[in-house]
Amino acid sequence: MGVPVSQMWTVAKYVLTQKLRGRKRYPLVLMLEPLFRCNLACAGCGKIQHPTEILRKNLSAEDCFRAVEECGAPIVSIPGGEPLLHPQIHEIVEGLIERRKYIYLCTNALLLEKHLDRFTPSKYLSFSVHLDGDREEHDAAVCRNGVYDIAMQAIREAVSRGFRVTTNTTLFNTADPARMQPLFDELMDIGVEGMMVSPGYPYEKAPDQEHFLHSRETVNLFRRLLARPKRRWAFNQSPLFLEFLRGNYELECTPWGNPTYNIFGWQKPCYLIEEGYVDSFAELMESTSWDSYGKASGNPKCTDCMVHCGYEPTAVDATFGSLKGLLTAARVTLRGLSPLSDPEPAAPAPRPEPVPELVTLQPLPQETSAA
């Protein structure tokens, strides 16, 4: 699996400590959103549909450090928006490294090569580059031509300078496994440490509501995508979550596993659903009606969700919480995902619609930082 041994050991020790203390609910990854603005306007994104005055706001470095210390999770994911637009992003990263947090800085990579000099390679820092398919599929997903080529060049440059690089791929009902698999090969060839794959969640504010996956479609897609997985493919995910996506392992959502902190405060209940904010992590944990979320709750907002931020924490907890989970995870880690003899057949996915030609990638107005 595409996760360093030191990180796996840190997470394992943390989870076992929580269990020994009898804690049933604990965070695994803090989703730290220091801003919402972005230099892309992806049709499937519900995070950038805020008024201009909100998009101009940032969390300060001090705000970020306070949230990290309050939460206590060993891993910090920094999504957005586009984090590289934040004027203090290098200070935030340096502060988290000093606190020995493992960081996934999520980026569309348009600014990555330009800003690499602001960072120092570290085992604690990984650039997680958003890549939703091959050139045609990715550029269609982000609604701008030319982005795929810039991202791939930025990945190569970051790897050549000694940085950890992972990728984050969100799949929709237009995804074609036959086109994704060669991309996996290429990412391994250029030195990507691990790949994360996840089905898209139907954000209510996303402009495109037609291409999100229902749960049966998700399993169908991932059974075909990972029917004959190559041993060389390294995934930056727990083995049980990948088996869950393939329909081979049952998991329930752990909405508190990846709590979210952004400019509004602690988001209730999770990264994907916005139903109010509170001022402290303790209040988030104590005041949220957790039984109202997840598939078992019957909540319609959770019916088709199989996204990593809800189920990856469950998979990690199950790995250390049961003999079955531990043995399954160990088998996949040592041998890789087993081939599937019966991937469900499905009609070929339609090719993505073309997007307007990219004329230039000059800085957009929102790239001008505003406190």
3-state SS class at 278: strand
Instruction: State the average pLDDT over residues 68-93.
Output: 96
Is the model's pLDDT at 31 over the cut of 80? yes
Predicted TM-score of the model (pTM): 0.88
**CA 211 to each of CA 99, 135, 138, 349: distance values in angstroms, whole numbers, following the listed order:** 40, 18, 14, 11
Instruction: Say what the pLDDT of residue 210 is.
Output: 65
How many Cβ atoms are within 10 Å of 142's Cβ, its own excluded?
25
Instruction: Say what the pLDDT of residue 360 is.
Output: 40
Judge contact between 192 and 166, C-beta under 8 A. yes
pLDDT tens by residue, 333-344 = 788 888 887 776
Is the model's pLDDT at 100 over the cut of 60? yes
pLDDT tens by residue, 119-136 = 999 999 999 999 989 999
Instruction: Say what the pLDDT of residue 49 is.
Output: 75
What residue has token string 């935030």? 92
pLDDT tens by residue, 142-158 = 889 999 999 999 999 99
Instruction: State the average pLDDT over residues 79-93.
Output: 96
How does the average pLDDT of the chain come out, rounded?
A: 88
Identify the residue with better confidence: 330 or 109.
109
What is the torsional sign of CA 332, 338, 344, 350? Answer: positive
pLDDT tens by residue, 217-263 = 999 999 999 999 999 999 999 999 999 999 999 999 999 999 999 99
**pLDDT class of 205 with cuts at 50, 70, 90:** low
